[in-house]
Amino acid sequence: MKHIGLYILLVCIVFAGCSDKYSSELGLKPTLTPRYLRVSPTSLSFSANQASSQSVDIETMETPWKVDNAIDWVSISAANGQSNSNINVSTSENKDANAARTGVFYIKADVSDWNYEKGISVSQAAATPYINVSQSNITLKGTACTSTFDVTSNCSYTVTNDADWLTLSQKGNSFVLNATANETSQYRTTTILFSYNGIDQASNKIVVTQAPASINASTETLTFENTAGEVKVEVTSESKWTASTSYSWINVTPNSGEAGTSSITISVSPNTSVDERTGYVILSIGSEKRIQIPIKQRGIYIETDKSQYDFDASSGTQTIQVNSNTSWQVSSVPSWIKVDKTSGTGNSAIKVTVEENPNTTERNGEFEISQPGLSAIATVKVHQKGKTFDVGVTTLTFNDKEESQTITIATDGTWRAFSSADWIKVSPETATGNSTLTITVQENSTDGERSGSVNILMGDASATVAIVQKGKYFTIDNSLLDFTSKGGELKVTLTTNAPWSARKDDTVNWLSISPTNGTDNANVKVTASDNASVNKRSANVYFDALGRSVNILVSQKARYLTVDANELLFYSKGGTSNAVTISTDGTYSINCSDNWLTISRNGDTFTVNASENDTKDARIGKITISLTDLKEGSYSVTLTVTQLNYGGTFLRKDFEEDKNYDHNGTSSGSLTITGFGEDSNYDTNSQSGTKLSVVGFKSDACWDSSTASSAKVTITGYEQDKNLDSDTNSSGTVNKDGYSDDNNWN
């Protein structure tokens, strides 16, 4: 309503004051219809690759509108409208990097009575410049040649090439490289640069490399005989070329050519010397030498297919191939070599024959093939092996019997064999080639070793085989046989190659021998019967051989019986003794006539149990162990058993290490006890060599004061053990009277 009132007032003023002027100057008829048209924004800016549209707002009243757009790169979403609206404006991509672009389109009032329009400017930035090259590296042959590449760009650019051997031509986006032939011997390189506004595009360049122009010949070297000759050689080149030589005896035509393949002729004049000569033909491109073809021409020559010919010791023939371009003669041939031809011309064959070599020593000879007056000489060397001769052994050892052994003789000659002794025979005495020789010895009936030899001769060689034959021998492995009383079998080993016999005294009936004779090594069994006697016995066994006798002493033990104790001691309270061990090779019995003693046997051990002695007198018993399988004599051992009376007095001598006074240990001391009561162990835990006297000892069984006692103890030289417990050694003296309550004697 605000806008409408304003326009009505404006119209009234205009038409009231100057209606004629408006109509005449603008050519319009005045309108009484209020109109309004507004556009925002009036300027738009886009990037080169604008991907989104921009909006323009249109406000209007009673005024239809339309779009007048003459910009071909601008698109508008609506062409006209009747009321307020907005339109979307977009641009196509600006691919041109040379410059930005601008334009104006209009929003106009689409009415007849009001000529109104509003321009909207549109600008778009230039594109980012780029130059894209289809290749970054181009390699060219050495010949004059072309190559192409493509360049795409959205900007103006310049191309820089500073190589005088390379030109560029452009047609559209394509470029053609034109390179001249590379007549140098080196690769050459240049870089083509692309620049925009004077700035090189480092990422868009082309490196062009051209190889040297190649040239090849169909041969690397030429060899001619000593006579005149010529050879055609094909030359293939990528550029113009020239051919030359500095040697007067070589000619080359033509001496130049164009790129492509062509032929040259190389010719040589005759060589009248014996020396080979060498020259060169040079192929060049430009000023540079590219190929050197060696030209060799032989002189006058005489050659053989080999420098040395090898023969076995036997006669033989070989063919020598002579290669020559002149006449020749054979000279200086050794006497043991024969040739079938002594002269010739050019290539020929000569048969060479050697005589048999009778010796083992190899021999060498040589002769010449030459032309008198020239230094062309071929020396032919001939080597012939000597005869082979190998006996293989140097010594043969035989036993005492007649015996034969065979040796192998390796030779390609004829040999003879000789014996040095009449007890040695050989067969055969002569033979040819590889063969065997049998050597036989007669029996050696002596007891001494003997020796001889067999000599074998072949040509200038000889070999000696030592012959050793053992004599008769006889040995025995021992000189004493010792049997237990039970007898049995023992073995005597005889080592001999002579007849032997074995015997014993005729009076010896408890021995037997098997076998009693033989002629070779043997194990002789000597058997002894059981000697159930208390007397040992002996005899001799004799072995006779080679006229002598060897005796072996045969002894046999008697039965034996031992007991590891000769007395047992019991205190009045009795008890069981330690085990007593019996050692024997016979059978035995254990007997005891005392009823206060009982015996418990376990194999070859037994223990004795004594009942308590409640009398006032000590008592003595006897235990007798007797052999029961004797056939001759008798044998027994008596064991004395003593039991003390209660409170009695006894003497133990040789007492030292028996800490418990129980006779289980050994002793060299002396112990006397009077009035002994119940101390059955005497375990003072001490070791001493002194005398110990105890009087009136009563109930203290261990002497440890656990039980009171009024005994008297006298100890002399007890050392440092103040407590009598052996923890400390002492050489002191202890006297105690009336010992009663002092538990530790301290």
DSSP secondary structure of 580-636: EEEEESS-EEEEE--TTEEEEEETTEEEEEE----SSS-EEEEEEEEE---SBS--E
Report the SS3 class of residue 152.
Answer: strand
Residue predicted with more confidence, 689 or 628: 628
pLDDT of residue 614: 84
What does the DSSP assignment read for 63-98? Answer: --EEEE---TTEEES-SEESSSEEEEEEE------S
Picking from 51-55, 165-169, 295-299, 677-681, which range would have the lowest pLDDT averaged per residue?
677-681
User: Mean pLDDT across the stretch 284-295?
Assistant: 91
Most confident by average pLDDT, 181-185, 467-471, 731-735: 467-471
User: Mean pLDDT across the stretch 549-554?
Assistant: 93
Percent of the chain with pLDDT strictly greater than 70: 82
pLDDT of residue 596: 94
User: Mean pLDDT across the stretch 702-724?
Assistant: 47
pLDDT of residue 479: 85
pLDDT of residue 183: 87
pLDDT at 99 over 90: no
pLDDT at 742 over 60: no
The pair of three-digit structure tokens given for residue 592, joined into one six-digit string: 């005891």
Residue showing tokens 């040079």: 282
Residue predicted with more confidence, 128 or 533: 533
pLDDT of residue 88: 94
Residue predicted with more confidence, 695 or 527: 527
pLDDT at 632 over 50: yes
User: Mean pLDDT across the stretch 393-413?
Assistant: 93
pLDDT at 52 over 90: no
User: Mean pLDDT across the stretch 420-442?
Assistant: 95
User: Mean pLDDT across the stretch 345-352?
Assistant: 93
- Please give the mean pLDDT across all residues of the chain: 83
The closest of 638, 618, 614, 640 to 626, measured between CA atoms, is 638
Cβ-Cβ contacts under 8 Å for 746 (sequence gap 6 or more): 722, 723
Could you give the dihedral angle defined by the CA atoms of residues 58, 59, 60 and 61, in that order, rounded to the nearest 10 degrees? 160
Name the band, by pLDDT with cuts 50, 70 and 90, for residue 4: very low
- Distance (Å, whole) CA 438 – CA 64: 147
pLDDT at 637 over 60: yes
User: Mean pLDDT across the stretch 91-111?
Assistant: 90
pLDDT of residue 201: 60
pLDDT of residue 478: 84
Name the band, by pLDDT with cuts 50, 70 and 90, for residue 189: very high
pLDDT of residue 195: 85
Name the band, by pLDDT with cuts 50, 70 and 90, for residue 652: low
- List Cα–Cα distances, 386 to 83, 365, 682, in angstroms: 134, 14, 105
User: Mean pLDDT across the stretch 219-242?
Assistant: 93
Summarised one tens digit per residue, pLDDT across range 210-229 is: 999 899 999 999 999 888 99
- Distance (Å, whole) CA 17 – CA 36: 22
pLDDT of residue 535: 93
pLDDT of residue 647: 65
Residue predicted with more confidence, 34 or 742: 34
- Distance (Å, whole) CA 471 – CA 452: 14
Summarised one tens digit per residue, pLDDT across range 670-701 is: 455 544 444 444 433 333 333 455 444 444 44
pLDDT at 431 over 60: yes
Name the band, by pLDDT with cuts 50, 70 and 90, for residue 447: confident
Burial of 347 (0-12, 13-18, 19+ CB in 10 A): exposed
- Distance (Å, whole) CA 33 – CA 62: 8
| Widest pairwise Cα distance in the chain | 197
pLDDT of residue 648: 58
Name the band, by pLDDT with cuts 50, 70 and 90, for residue 198: low
pTM here is: 0.39
pLDDT of residue 30: 54
225 with 299: CB under 8 angstroms? no
pLDDT of residue 665: 47
User: Mean pLDDT across the stretch 623-627?
Assistant: 95
pLDDT of residue 713: 53
pLDDT at 743 over 50: no
HSE, side-chain direction, 13 A CA sphere, residue 126: 11
- List Cα–Cα distances, 454 to 394, 404, 405, 424, 461, in angstroms: 10, 13, 12, 8, 14
**Which H or E element spans position 491?**
strand 488-496
- List Cα–Cα distances, 228 to 56, 268, 624, 626, in angstroms: 103, 5, 138, 135
- List Cα–Cα distances, 718 to 181, 251, 667, 721, 728, in angstroms: 130, 136, 16, 7, 10
pLDDT of residue 32: 65
pLDDT of residue 310: 95
Report the SS3 class of residue 22.
Answer: helix
pLDDT at 709 over 70: no
